[in-house]
Amino acid sequence: MSAHHAHAAMQADRSKRARTLVTPEGLSLPLTVGSRGARAGALLLDLVILLVGIIAVLVLFSAIGFGLLDIGSSPEASPVLQGLLVLAILFLFLSRYGYFLWFELGPRAATPGKRIVGLRVAARDGGRLTAEMVLARNLMRDIEVFVPAFFLLGGGQNSGAFGLATFIWLAVFVLFPVFNKDALRAGDIVAGTWVVEARHAKLKDAMSVAPDRTRDYRFEEAELSVYGEHELQVLERVLRQDRPESLREVAEAITGKIGWQLGAGDEREFLEAFYAALRGHLESNMRFGKRKRDKFS
Amino acid sequence: MVLSLFRKAEITPPADIEAASLRSDRFRLEREADWRRLDTIVTALEKNRPRRISDDDLLELPVLYRNTASSLAVARETSLDAATLNYLEALVRRAWFQIYGPRIELIGWLRRFLGGGWSAAVRAIWLDICIALVVMVAGTVVGWLLVDQDERWYYSLVPGGMAGGRAPGADPEVLRESLGTAEGADGLGVFAAYLFSNNTGVCILAFALGFAFGVPTLLLLVHNLSLLGAMYWVFSEAGLGLDFAAWISVHGTTELGAIMLSGAAGLHVGRTMMFPGDRSILSAMQTAGVRAAQVMAGCTIMLIVAGLLEGYARQLVGSTSARFAIGGAMLLFWALYFALVPAPQERDT
């Protein structure tokens, strides 16, 4: 039962984050604003990737550097070492300011962390996401992510009244996304962007191509009007997951409700037939403008 | 067997449309091939491999997109197959993002940016630039006056590590030496790279701080420039005022210009937040933010130039007049560039 509650809670949360985006040609597209948790997770993933990458590259650089030192202080080594140092400085600079920018400018408009949790950046007005927008949102990131992080790492919050004031001030930036319904951070506001879900969905098999069983199972109008669209979709999920115990549980619930007796082992056949009949019934009503949301309506 | 893994998956029409007992499933099976075709194209675009898409597919893309979008509209009204609706919604959204997604080609963007986009953005924030300039001049004067009044101010303005012997009352010879040149080009690359990354960090901070109504940006400008004023006082006391000015001007006209522009960009955002005008605050801030971001992208270029000037030119050129000539020429160049390069023609991309 708790699984059902969790699912319902998730649905409620998703519908709170649902937005409709009207494209320039007037098509309305449903979008889901990325949850704050997912965005925090994506940021953490990106920071971990960055940190591991930085450590790996710096270890490599210093290994090359020490290798050159071993040869002795030959005059040839020094320009190479200098070049290495220049590269290291530029690499650190680019990893702080360039990582997010580079990936968000790509065709997926998402950093690796965002991709993993299924998010992407989009223009809030439904238009094209431009390079300048991505630039603006990532320039602001410095004060929202890196400055607070370095501040906390340096223990700045402990340094008296000034430290406390800075801490509170930085917290305003960090907590900004919590205080608006679209979870916009300061960079999103300045750039006119937002972060939305970008999940891929696989096209699953059509449900009614299973062998036609309308002859074996005939359902009356009254039996079909017990359930609504919500129950149909629960049934669809159960059929697609195809787990014997949940098939049995659902089949028993349905037969109990409509007063049928069912032999053992026939659960899947029965449910497929019932699904097809129920969907046909609800869809034909739908064509006449009658919709039944769930069993209570 | 192995080869089949690498071959492009053929899109086969679904087996038997008539076998489906539901009308909505037949609708789906009839259109499924088109959807899968759009899916393959969109996936290739997402992976940034447009060359994998055949010419036919690319030409058909808008049609496929529109058809799939209308399939979605019809399916929403006639089908209760949640999995198919989910798939269609995700596919249409992905296709839309690709068709209206960022289409950025670095060379083209740079040409447009350098050929007018940048200078137009700079001209558009002229008022903020004036404010930033006034604040910076005020900051320098304040630094000078403070140290002039009480030398102890110098130590609280200039961090110890940065002073490097350049303290009030220091031996003029030591000061003169600190303005001198390096022996050769050794190590100057590292210096230039360090200066660039450090200064760009400061500029980005100056911009980002503008979000809080611009006040912290102003404070940052005042603080950084009061440091310059304090240092100028030390050198002018030792009778080296002119030499110091020449030494600073080599890179300073470019570097301080970039700091001024980034401060102005931050102020622009902060000022728009306070006075959005007759538009909604969000849309006003977006316009300001995008404009400011262009100015900032240009600041990075200026700071690369400044880093090279500071790292190499200043360390290699020693005479006061030559230093003034370099600094003055850079100032003239930037001023003319921003004032004269016209905005690029409007295009929809």
Taking the CA atoms of A176, A177, A179 and A181 in sequence, report the sign of the dihedral they define. positive
Q: Report the 10 Å Cβ neighbour count for A79.
A: 13
Instruction: Note the pLDDT of residue A96.
Output: 87
CA distances from A110 to A19, A185, A227, B102, B332 (A): 20, 16, 41, 11, 41
Give the highest mean pLDDT range of A138-152, A217-231, B283-297.
B283-297
Under 8 Å between Cβ of A232 and A275: yes
Is there a contact between B80 and A279 if contact means CB atoms under 8 Å apart?
yes
Distance CA A33, CA A194 (A): 8
Instruction: Note the pLDDT of residue B4.
Output: 46
Residue pointed to by tokens 């759009």: B38
Is there a contact between B20 and A127 if contact means CB atoms under 8 Å apart?
no
Distance CA B32, CA A165 (A): 59
Is there a contact between A82 and B39 if contact means CB atoms under 8 Å apart?
no
pLDDT digits (tens, 9 = 90+) for A33-43: 999 999 999 99
For residue B29, give the nearest of A78, A190, A206 by CB distance: A206
CA distances from B109 to A130, B117, B289, B334 (A): 10, 9, 18, 20
Q: Please name the residue of chain B whose CA is at the shortest distance from the CA of residue A29.
A: B93
Alpha-helix residue ranges (DSSP H) falling in chain A:
2-17, 36-70, 77-97, 99-104, 112-117, 131-141, 147-153, 160-175, 186-191, 221-224, 229-241, 244-258, 267-287
Q: Tell me which residue of A111, A118, A107, A170 sits closest to A137, measured CA to CA.
A: A111
Instruction: Note the pLDDT of residue B3.
Output: 46
| Span A237-259, average pLDDT | 86
Tell me B47's DSSP state.
T
- CA A179 to chain B, closest CA, distance in angstroms equals 15
Interface contact A42, partner B, CB < 8 A: no
User: Which chain A residues are closer than 8 Å to B15 by Cβ?
Assistant: 209
Tokens at A33, concatenated: 């604003």
For residue A139, give the nearest of B86, B204, B212 by CB distance: B204
Q: Tell me which residue of B333, B301, B330 sits closest to B313, measured CA to CA.
A: B330
Q: How many CB pairs under 8 A join A and B?
A: 211
- CA B57 to chain A, closest CA, distance in angstroms equals 18
pTM higher than the cut 0.90:
no
Alpha-carbon dihedral A185, A190, A192, A196, rounded to 10 degrees = -20
Is there a contact between B101 and A191 if contact means CB atoms under 8 Å apart?
no
Whether residue B6 has pLDDT greater than 70: no
| Span A222-251, average pLDDT | 87
Distance CA A149, CA B321 (A): 45
- CA A27 to chain B, closest CA, distance in angstroms equals 8
Tokens at B216, concatenated: 């912290």
Distance CA A219, CA A214 (A): 8
Q: Where is average pLDDT lowest: A17-26, A60-69, B273-282? A: A17-26
For residue A29, give the nearest of B93, B296, B297 by CB distance: B93
Is there a contact between B93 and A207 if contact means CB atoms under 8 Å apart?
no
Under 8 Å between Cβ of A194 and A31: no
Rg (CA), chain A: 28
Instruction: Note the pLDDT of residue B137.
Output: 95
pLDDT digits (tens, 9 = 90+) for B159-207: 765 666 677 777 777 777 777 776 555 667 777 788 888 888 888 888 8
- CA B170 to chain A, closest CA, distance in angstroms equals 32
Whether residue B215 has pLDDT greater than 60: yes
For residue A240, give the nearest of B14, B83, B211 by CB distance: B83
Q: Report the 10 Å Cβ neighbour count for B290.
A: 20
